[in-house]
Structure 1
């Protein structure tokens, strides 16, 4: 079976019992204890629990969806870990996928930690959440970026805002395996994101340019916050952030202020590194203009991260008129959650969800289809989805390209091995 050069994943990853290793009911009954566990006891128990998980990846050729799950070898879940039932993909780079395990998100005191999934060795490593003494960090929806370096090391950086700073200061935490400690650097947000224009939340985050990387956090309503990885890692270098606005033709909104914010930005915008470029796809005017007037537009950011250039455009009405759309018997409905292909120029994946409203106001779900739109070659293809509808943006990654052998399609579990020596792994 040919290895997929890239895949589309659901961002939610579940922890499941490996039925091949035993049987029985899941237990979450707390033992009889005299002293309540401390916060550190809980964190240690969660890290121990996460270390026994085995990744189980199902990578499929596009446009079929792929997914990852984590298998535990025992039916017993430690009672301190009862909230750790799933994980959420935060970012990816090359063969690495970084996930929030459990309900933890940047800047919170919720239970959980980080997991790093390495596809080239089909292995997991764990990272504790950064310290949050007396709640000095403030949850604002910013995220964590993983970067794969050329020498086999990798970096994980988590961005939050500093509590009590009137939202004008950013806190970037980085983790080093050599010291097993999180290191904090604080810097001012750029003027465009300081009060009163400070409403910034990260919908997506990623790295750009590998070892000499730029770390990027993207608010699809406003633009992109970036910093230089070398500044973040150098012990004495001053950290500076820069704001990259969206293309001038793309309307911008402040969350909680503009009425447009009632829509999820991911329903009609997405951004990604495609090859050596950062690209943005939009369907601006979503739910504002007649659907037949909407068009997919792809923008490419210049290498110096200063200017956007408009590229391919494709009308939604042209998708409706395609042989594929007609053969599916779909009504002329709005697509949603566009995702850029990682290995195809001007290729976008979209969901078409066929739902109708009944007379009693209930939504009747009829089906969902993932359509592949090749703008350059004017070609539309599809893959039907089964089960419950997917109501969030998919995650595109080329991590599947780093598997050397074995995929789990219908053949069994992934059996991947390292491609040579990756050198000493260092978390920074």
Structure 2
């Protein structure tokens, strides 16, 4: 079946954090112009507090007219000469969603593949944005967040939007096979209350729906009873339809099946950070779906990290019955490396979604004090052979990276990327050289 599993799929570990690259700001920088924050800081110097708000507003409007609007015109000219290779799928909205707002969001965003590498090295994506200077989207934080992946599909939150917390933003769906993106509106604000419901995991989920271009988005929220969560939940769903995106969010009340003899005992204070010690994934094996759960046990009980144990359980989705599939002591891992990894603290276990015997884990040296301040002595991403208790490979994480390891997920999306997509990074590197010969950028008038 087209869109189904492929032979020996390659697996990548994707950084969930996706930075926004502002194309208008890039044009301003090319022309030697100042960023808005620098321009306003200069204008507010020695201005009395009573006048600062008025002066700042005047400065922002002047900057928009004199600097941003000419830069935006250059960006539009460049895009007209060199249209995007990706397809943008329009959404048929219903209810109170404003089609103009989300149409503007779709027109002004593109996926950029910054770095795609074989696991355990980390892969990175970016969003190139060119929203008009007057757009509400330009006030967004400088990054999106990948919240789910399934085969050729990626699902992102863009903007500060989180269900039940903020409605400013949207979902972005990236289809690597079709090289297309679609913008999905947020959940209806009145359908969710964080006083009576709470989210789980890292957010929404995307599920490939069996036919190319079709998928299902889902958000699940546990219901609260006197402040405590239960296994009763509200499920929100958005279904696509072929090469277009339509319909609207629907919801239904569900009860989550738990293993026999198990109850939900989450306290009022919440669940802490369980992702540090455990994780879960859903895979397809033999025509059926399986849930896999991995956990690092023994934190706070072992003085030595080598005494920790790593355990994994699986269950069929149709017949819930958990079975232990492997268990081993972390200190017994073997490695052909000069680095004594078992001496480093293991965190954020993650199962491979293509190889049943492979898992990934991040290890870090204990913080050491330098001049009275804690110093990170190094972190590594390891791939493990759980059947033989061996370290297959390692990747040293950048010392300056503060977004690992909690913002990493395993994906097969790279298997479906067209070759034209893989050269996007090179194209963007040459863009500045090409464009500078055809037009000049505006400089700041401030």
- TM-score between the two structures when normalised by the length of structure 2: 0.66
Task: Report deviation, 1:244.
Answer: 2.8
The residue that corresponds to 1:14 in the other structure is 19
Secondary structure of the structure 1 residue equivalent to 2:105? helix
Is 2:306 the counterpart of 1:292? Answer: yes
Q: Contact 1:90/1:144 (CA < 8 Å) preserved in 2? A: yes
Residue-by-residue CA offset, 1:311-334 (whole Å, 9 max, x unaligned): 122321123x5332xx12557121
Q: Distance in 2 between matches of 1:337 and 1:279?
A: 15
1:141 and 2:199 are equivalent in the alignment: yes
When the two structures are aligned, how many residues end up with a matched partner? 347
On the 8 A contact 1:173/1:182 being kept in 2, the answer is no
1:55 corresponds to which residue?
Answer: 111
Partner secondary structure for residue 248 of structure 2:
strand
Q: Per-residue displacement from partner, 1:342-401 (whole Å, max 9, x unpaired)?
A: 222221111112242317652111221111111223431211122324241521111111
Match of residue 207 from structure 1:
none
Q: Which residue of 1 aligns with 2:280?
A: 271
What SS class does the counterpart of residue 244 from structure 1 fall into? Answer: coil
Match of 1:302 in 2: 316
Q: Is the 8 A contact 1:298 1:346 kept in 2?
A: no
The answer to whether the Cα contact below 8 Å between 2:170 and 2:185 also exists between their aligned partners in 1 is yes
Offset from partner CA, 1:54-76 (integer Å, 9 cap, x none): 10123211221112111124795
- Distance in 1, Cα, partners of 2:318 & 2:235: 23
The answer for the alignment partner of 1:426 in structure 2 is: none
1:127 aligns with 2:184: yes
Deviation of residue 287 (structure 1)?
A: 2.8
* Residues 338 and 348, structure 1, Cα contact 8 Å, conserved in 2: yes
Asked if structure 1 preserves the Cα contact closer than 8 Å seen for 2:259 and 2:321, the reply is no
**Structure 1 Cα separation of the partners of residues 406 and 371 of structure 2:** 26
Q: Determine helix, strand or coil for the equivalent of 1:182.
A: coil
Q: Which stretch has the larger CA shift, 14-23 or 270-279? A: 14-23
Structure of greater Rg = 2
Picking from 68, 87, 98, the partner of 2:155 is 98
Cα distance change of structure 1 residues 399 and 247 upon mapping to structure 2, 3 Å threshold:
farther
- Counterparts of 1:413 and 1:299 in 2: how far apart (Å)? 45
- The aligned counterpart of 2:235 is 172
Report the Cα offset of residue 308 of structure 1.
1.0
Secondary structure of 2:293's aligned partner: strand
Look up the match of 2:358. Answer: 347
1-structure distance, mates of 2:100, 2:35: 21
**1: distance between equivalents of 2:174 and 2:367?**
39
> What residue in structure 1 maps to residue 217 of structure 2?
156
Alignment of 1:403-418 (within 5 A): 403-405=417-419, 408=422, 412=426
Distance 1:59-1:77 versus aligned 2 partners, 3 A rule: farther
CA distance, structure 2, for counterparts of residue 247 and residue 294 of structure 1: 26
Quote the Cα distance in structure 2 between the aligned partners of 1:331 and 1:116. Answer: 39
Deviates more, 1:330-339 or 1:293-302: 330-339
Q: Counterparts of 2:291 and 2:279 in 1: how far apart (Å)?
A: 11
Aligned position for 2:142: 85
Aligned residue number for residue 371 of structure 1: 382
Question: Normalising by structure 1, what TM-score?
Answer: 0.69
Q: In the alignment, is residue 115 of structure 1 matched against residue 176 of structure 2?
A: no
* 3-state SS of 1:140 partner: strand
Partner of residue 41, structure 2:
none
Matched residue, 1:242: 256
Distance change in 2, residues 1:339/1:272 (3 Å): same
- CA-to-aligned-CA distance 1:20-59 (integer Å, 9 cap, x gap): 9844355587659xxxxxxx89995465134321101232
Which runs of at least 4 in structure 1 moved beyond 6 Å after TM superposition?
40-43, 162-168
Structure 2 Cα separation of the partners of residues 404 and 123 of structure 1: 11
CA distance in structure 1 between the partners assigned to 2:423 and 2:327 by the alignment = 34
Q: Deviations over 1:244-269 (max 9, x none)?
A: 34998xx98624458xx44x211111
Write the distance in 2 (CA, Å) between the matches of 1:53 and 1:339.
Answer: 30
**Alpha-carbon separation, structure 1, partners of 2:142 and 2:169:** 10
SS where residue 323 of structure 1 aligns?
A: coil
Cα separation, 1, equivalents of 2:347 and 2:36: 40
Asked whether the equivalents of residues 266 and 337 of structure 1 are also in contact (C-alpha less than 8 Å), the reply is yes
Give 1:297 deviation, angstroms: 1.4
* Contiguous gaps of at least 5 residues in structure 2: 1-6, 38-58, 63-95, 429-446
Is 1:182 the counterpart of 2:248 in the alignment? yes
